[in-house]
Structure 1
């Protein structure tokens, strides 16, 4: 099951952004990671079978603040 996970994190500099990216990519099943929002403080993680709560917990340990905003299932359209 593919999912799209949105996590709001405390990201103030490029070093923090790089560290958050490394943590997210290290999780099993992650396909892509992108930053969105006006301050680029929301991480949008796409993956297959990713544990969203564990991801938020890992980010919270390193960055100090990470809030799980949403988890959506991605359905593929059949032609």
Structure 2
């Protein structure tokens, strides 16, 4: 069962946001991490089997003040069939000719060994 966890944090700088995302991303079962909110102070974690309390306490220990706002189930997306792509097989026979490169070493039997002259 996938769940969406929202954790409120005091993230004042980009370094704090980056550290919070790193800590949240290594937790067991996490599939995605995002920073949301008007002042970018909410860490949103989506995953399967994520322990929200352990994640919040880990963020609190390693980053700073963190409080659990909500835990909710993620609704599965309904496939409407509008985005389906149909693959049409090629009607003509398509062959790709292999390219062959021939490399020959060029040696001049009359050279004196000096390449400057």
> Which of the two has greater strand per residue?
1
Per the alignment, residue 47 of structure 1 pairs with 47
TM-score by length of 1: 0.93
SS at match of 1:47: strand
Residue segments in structure 1 that go unaligned for 5+ positions in a row = none
TM-score by length of 2: 0.64
Per the alignment, residue 11 of structure 1 pairs with 11
Higher Cα Rg: structure 1 or 2?
2
Residue segments in structure 2 that go unaligned for 5+ positions in a row = 80-117
Q: Which has the higher contact order (CA 8 A, sep 6+)?
A: 1
> Which of the two has greater helix per residue?
1
Q: Does 1:21 align with 2:21?
A: yes
Q: Does 1:68 align with 2:53?
A: no
In the comparison of the two structures, how many residue pairs are matched? 79
Per the alignment, residue 33 of structure 1 pairs with 33
Q: Does 1:58 align with 2:58?
A: yes
* Distance in 2 (alpha carbons) for counterparts of 1:78 and 1:9: 32
Cα displacement (A) at 1:64: 2.1
SS at match of 1:5: strand
